[in-house]
Amino acid sequence: MTVLMSADELEAELRSVGAARYHNRHPFHQLLHGGALNRRQVQAWALNRYCYQAAIPIKDATLIARTDDPDLRRLWRQRLIDHDGTAPGEGGIVRWLALTEGLGLDRDMVTSRTRALPATRFAVQAYVDFVRDRPLLEAVASSLTEMFSPTIISERVAGMLANYNFITKETLSYFNARLDQAPRDADFALDYVKRHARTPDQQQAVIAALGFKCDVLWAQLDALHHAYVMPGMIPPGAFGYRDTWS
Ligand SMILES: O=C(O)c1cc(C(=O)O)c2c(n1)C(=O)C(=O)c1cc(C(=O)O)[nH]c1-2
């Protein structure tokens, strides 16, 4: 039988999900940050991750569209501004494209998403669908992986700058803004979840939502690892598949 936890016990449970399942533990990230990948593999990571970046504002707009609480909408819309900017040429998506361009990838190829791995696209879409279809509380809770992102972002930036001569501070500038944005967003979402998860079932549901989101992130790295590290099975049509496609 599940029992009602205090808000602080719930937070501790959520943190233990992150400690066990967040994507900082994935071997692909360890290779990426440790300098063990070649330029082609880093390109594949950036190109695939563009799909995630592009989907984030869609899932945030979906969440905003689902709530009749003006306070929640007002707070959450900052996320749209962070990713889309307030004018063309601003925002996180453009900064991600600076990274892919810095890696020598064609912008149209990246934004078309046609050369991304099928599993990346499916995982990202599962996140958007989750936020559209599940109760609002779970939709908010699914963003809580951001509680853990500042640590991995710091490790990634330091590791990639130290280990790859084709990476510069400028190409990684996307992550600078995230170091302020992610804690702000995560603090709000965590406070919201702690206040609104008032029954044992709701508490279990928000823990499961965070687990689901860890799976979304993990599945993307599994796909990258399978295609570009071991056993190196690139799906037909994806980036790097035989010469005729690349
Ligand atoms: O670099 C990372 O490891 C990482 C992780 C996450 C995350 O934990 O979901 C996000 C981001 N970055 C990120 O840049 C970002 O904009 C973002 C938005 C969200 C979300 O769920 O709303 N997660 C993340």
Q: Examine the pLDDT at 244 and tell me if it is beyond 90.
A: no
Q: How far is CA 110 from CA 84, 97, 179, 231, in A?
A: 17, 8, 24, 24
Cα(146) to ligand 1 centroid in Å equals: 6
- Report percent pLDDT > 90 for the chain: 97
User: Sorting pLDDT into bands at 50, 70 and 90, what band is 246?
Assistant: very low
The pTM is what? 0.96
Of ligand 1's listed atoms, the one at least distance from the Cα of 146 is: 8
Cα(195) to ligand 1 centroid in Å equals: 23
Q: What is the pLDDT of residues 168-218, one digit of tens each?
A: 999 999 999 999 999 999 999 999 999 999 999 999 999 999 999 999 999
Residues 69-98: what's their mean pLDDT?
97
Structure tokens at 196: 């609104």
Of the candidates 182, 48, 206, the one whose C-alpha atom is nearest the C-alpha of residue 124 is 48
Q: How many CA atoms lie within 13 A of 168 on its CB side?
A: 8
Please state the three-class secondary structure of the chain as a single string. CCCCCCHHHHHHHHHHHHHHHCHHHCHHHHHHHHCCCCHHHHHHHHHHHHHHHHHHHHHHHHHHHHCCCHHHHHHHHHHHHHHHCCCCCCCHHHHHHHHHHHCCCCHHHHHHCCCCCHHHHHHHHHHHHHHHHCCHHHHHHHHHHHHCHHHHHHHHHHHHHHHCCCCCCCCCCHHHHHHHHHHHHHHHHHHHHHHHCCCHHHHHHHHHHHHHHHHHHHHHHHHHHHHHCCCCCCCCCCCCCHHHHC
Cα(40) to ligand 1 centroid in Å equals: 23
> For ligand 1, atom 5, which residue shows the shortest CA distance?
149
Q: What is the pLDDT of residues 140-161, one digit of tens each?
A: 999 999 999 999 999 999 999 9
ipTM above threshold 0.95: yes
Cα(149) to ligand 1 centroid in Å equals: 7
> For ligand 1, atom 14, which residue shows the shortest CA distance?
178
> For ligand 1, atom 10, which residue shows the shortest CA distance?
146
Of the candidates 204, 211, 206, the one whose C-alpha atom is nearest the C-alpha of residue 189 is 206
**CA distance linking residue 179 with residue 207, whole number of Å:** 24
**CA distance linking residue 204 with residue 138, whole number of Å:** 10
Q: Examine the pLDDT at 243 and tell me if it is beyond 60.
A: no
> For ligand 1, atom 3, which residue shows the shortest CA distance?
149
Structure tokens at 124: 């990202």
User: Sorting pLDDT into bands at 50, 70 and 90, what band is 245?
Assistant: very low
Only one residue has tokens 């149209």, namely: 108
**CA distance linking residue 184 with residue 222, whole number of Å:** 29
Q: Which of 14, 146, 155, 214 to mutate to test the pocket of ligand 1 (most atoms within 8 A of CB)?
A: 146
Of ligand 1's listed atoms, the one at least distance from the Cα of 144 is: 21
User: Sorting pLDDT into bands at 50, 70 and 90, what band is 2?
Assistant: confident
Residues 39-54: what's their mean pLDDT?
98
Cα(173) to ligand 1 centroid in Å equals: 15
Ligand 1 neighbours (beta carbon < 6 A):
56, 143, 145-146, 149, 152-153, 178, 217
Q: What is the pLDDT of residues 101-135, one digit of tens each?
A: 999 999 999 999 999 999 999 999 999 999 999 99
